[in-house]
Structure 1
Amino acid sequence: MTTAAPTNTEPPKEQLRSTLRSHHLTMLAMGGVIGSGLFVGSGAGIGVAGPGIVLSYVAAGALTLLVMRMMAEMAAAYPSSGSFSVHAERAFGAWAGFTIGWMYWLTLVVVLALESTAAAVIVHSWLPAVPQWLLVLLFMAVFTAINLTEVANFGEFEFWFALIKVAAIVGFLLIGVLAIIGVLPGGDSGALDGDLLPHGWAGVAAGLTIAVPAFGGLEIVTIAAAESDDPARATGRAVRSAVWRIAIFYIGSMVVIVSLLPWSDEFLDVGPFAAVLDHIGVPAAAKIIELIVLIALLSALNANTYAAARMVFSLARRGQAPTLLARLSRTGVPWPAVLASAAFGFVGVVLNLLWPRTIFLHLLNAIGAVLLLVWILVACSQLRLRPRLPAASPVRMWGHPYLSWAALTAMVALLGLMAVRPDTRVQLISSAVLAAIVLTVGLIRGRRRIAATEK
């Protein structure tokens, strides 16, 4: 495939406002990945790997650390609201930026529907008199409104959301450690008696397919960097601090869970955090975790609305989306991009409510492997762009090019693992079909633009 010359990235007119601070970016990075996937979904990982899920999360955390370092290196050199889409375009041409940008945007707007619906289900269980559809409408309207105000307001909301989630994880770890050492009840369950790898290394590998997607969301910090007061330094600082802390939170949580409960406990599938707290004897454990999951969902709804709007705004600025979406308000907010992203989120909500097991399920499968495809293109872009990056950049990839190639090899191997596992094969095939469709559209558009230019 020939490499097309990249189009202009982020034209200088009408810039986004640089009002996000470093503490906003740090908490955005940390909060972006601490979601319902950790509080509820990690039970599935424990089911397939047993105590070996700890090793799965160690490997996933190491891979995430390398990918985020590569992403931060490019974001520090070329801060842009399009982030990895812009970097892919610089590295390989407009087709690459178009493909990964639109795939990521489609992923976010589908996830918006999932998150708003899940949040509505929780609140509806507390307030059954309030219709679920009305709660979805309320959540979508509130966070659309937040994203239409100054970006600093978004940053403050996300800062406090993330702080609550981090406090919840820290509290869980402290309670868990106290139980393990015998200060609190529940530490004598014999959870670690017997085989620590009940499904062998194959189980650990299978756990990777669940652990890696759980780290999705960190990439939002490189999108937000374009609206920070010091993009280069703030990006590196946020990624450095967030990745290590998140790895500790995830790995530490898994250690606590498998130390206190047998990996085959039937309640782990429902919610491992609630099961552990209930085992220790914490009153109303299920309700506490339910509240934290609600906060996590609303935080993700806020962050993903922001990221979707900035990505499609960047695509519009580069001529790869309707030019209307490149407009800014007087406060520097891409309001048409926010409204367009929220609108497609509403469409997804309708599909989820009407056809959850047909149309919406196909959409979920189609975005199942997009994160891994994004990460693979990040690694390819970093390897291609490294010789062009400023030598004085404040963020540099460790052990380049060896660790970059190691991360890329590991991700390709993970794709292979998804292909052989029946439960992930459908997601991989659906995501590949989506990628092929978007890529085809991007190539056709590129050829038409070249033909129009030659005329």
Structure 2
Amino acid sequence: MEEQLRRVLRTPEVLFLGINGVIGGGIFLLPGQVSQAAGRSAIWAYLAAGIIAIFIGLAFSAVGRIVTRTGGPYVYAEEAFGALPGFAVGWMSWVTFVLGWAALTVGLVSYITQLVPALHGLKDVLIVVILALLCGLNSLGVRRGQGAVTVFSIAKLIPLALLIVWGLFLVTTHHSVTGGGAGGHFGQAVLLLIFAYGGFEMAAIPAGEMTNPKRAVGIGIIGTLAGVTVFYMLIQWASERLDPHIAHAAAPLMSAGQAMFIGGATVMAVGAAVAIFGTISGVALTAPRVLYALSLRRALPPQLAMIWQPFRTPVVAIWVTGIIVAVLAISGTFTHLIFINVAARLFEYCMVALAAVKLGLRRQTPEASASRPIWGVVVSGIAAVVTLALLTRESLTALLAAALALAVGLAIYGLAQLAARSVS
């Protein structure tokens, strides 16, 4: 089956998709945790993590120039290693998105009910309304879905930019930037931050809807990682100037906001809610595209690849994903599964890096060596080693849970293959 999606996403929109995927509610907690672990070196932990993330991003960029179909990591692995490994990566990518979307939706509702206590008894209703709004918006066209992502990407940056400006230029008390933490665990801080960079891959998934995917994927991913690294470093620096004891704050950016002006803590709370909504709006756009890509290639039931012709959107994949997220969020099931997220994401990154190496070597003919230098293969190889090393640091529980999730996916894959053969 051929893709029937519209190529309308431009490079700046892809960049916003990546930025929105990385900068979520986590940054409102990170400065305290990083300061506690790294102490005076906290700001440099962001730089170290950013460099590692950029190596992984370069692998995505390299393979994104070769494979320009919808699906991101899934189609990269499929192109390099075949249908079954490709499905494994795609399935785990979708599982990661679904669990993260459920967790973030519950987090968003918690912020909303804190800001508006009268809504506390309507949490389940709020979950359904939020998910229905996002699914409906994305069903009406990728430009509408991306429009929401762009708006909330900009909106979430405003309170964070205000904190940076206030902390670096307007702070009236001059504290030394010590970080306030005991330090001594720089490596632990770097690992924490590498996981916080997750989500940049959203910029690669809707390649089939990009006007120039070969250019847009690279700029979207590398631009996201480079920009976010600088932004995170400035947030850490400003936060520590505003609150020298930020390492011990339960809500570090709200504590820093309180030091800015009266009502600053509320501004940061609203900013956290906006940031989370922006992130899930990006997940609502990208996660169904993974399911669509899997179905399009008959790895899952073909009904999931159904397109709503007036808007050329994968409407069945959108609503199936949204309903599953709603069930997980309302039932609380995601809390028992969320630790699969990191292991699945590292598996995905490692496979993409290996795919970039294999596809890069495949294209390294004497005639092509001038236009496709070997550096892409070398960088991707480094990324593969780094992600594999990080994967070995995961707990046995997380690895076993991820393996179980993969086994469930492979069982569904096997059933879909049997059904396809019986029809043919």
Give the TM-score taking structure 1 as reference length. 0.84
Residue aligning to 2:375: 399
1:412 paired with 2:412, answer no
Q: Secondary structure at the match of 1:367?
A: helix
Extract unaligned runs of 5+ from structure 2: none
1:155 paired with 2:146, answer yes
Question: Is contact 1:76-1:393 (8 Å) kept?
Answer: no
Distance across 2 between alignment mates of 1:311 and 1:233: 21
Matches within 5 A, 1:49-448: 49-130=38-119, 131-178=122-169, 183-188=170-175, 190-192=176-178, 198-200=182-184, 203-262=185-244, 265-267=247-249, 270-279=250-259, 281-330=260-309, 331-352=311-332, 359-389=333-363, 399-419=375-395, 426-435=397-406, 437-438=408-409, 444=414
The alpha carbon displacement at 1:149 in A equals 0.6
Distance across 1 between alignment mates of 2:21 and 2:75: 21
The alpha carbon displacement at 1:301 in A equals 1.5
Overall identity of the aligned pairs, in %? 23
Distance across 1 between alignment mates of 2:324 and 2:370: 38
CA distance change for structure 1 residues 114 and 146 in 2, over 3 Å: closer, same or farther?
A: same
Residue aligning to 1:7: none
Q: CA RMSD in A?
A: 2.8
CA distance change for structure 1 residues 430 and 55 in 2, over 3 Å: closer, same or farther?
A: farther
Give the TM-score taking structure 2 as reference length. 0.90
Q: Secondary structure at the match of 1:371?
A: helix
Could you tell me which amino acid in structure 2 is paired with residue 272 of structure 1?
P
Q: Secondary structure at the match of 1:369?
A: helix
Question: Is contact 1:49-1:204 (8 Å) kept?
Answer: yes
Question: Is contact 2:9-2:143 (8 Å) kept?
Answer: yes
The alpha carbon displacement at 1:415 in A equals 2.4
Question: Is contact 1:70-1:397 (8 Å) kept?
Answer: no
The alpha carbon displacement at 1:303 in A equals 1.1
Q: Secondary structure at the match of 2:118?
A: coil
Distance across 1 between alignment mates of 2:41 and 2:203: 30
The alpha carbon displacement at 1:263 in A equals 5.5
CA distance change for structure 1 residues 397 and 302 in 2, over 3 Å: closer, same or farther?
A: farther
Alignment length (residue pairs): 418
CA distance change for structure 1 residues 240 and 266 in 2, over 3 Å: closer, same or farther?
A: closer
Distance across 2 between alignment mates of 1:302 and 1:35: 11
Extract unaligned runs of 5+ from structure 1: 1-10, 353-358, 420-424
The alpha carbon displacement at 1:185 in A equals 1.9
Q: Deviations over 1:146-198 (max 9, x none)?
A: 111111111111111111223333222221211xxxx522322x34289x8x4
The alpha carbon displacement at 1:368 in A equals 3.1
Could you tell me which amino acid in structure 1 is paired with residue 178 of structure 2?
L
Distance across 2 between alignment mates of 1:238 and 1:337: 24
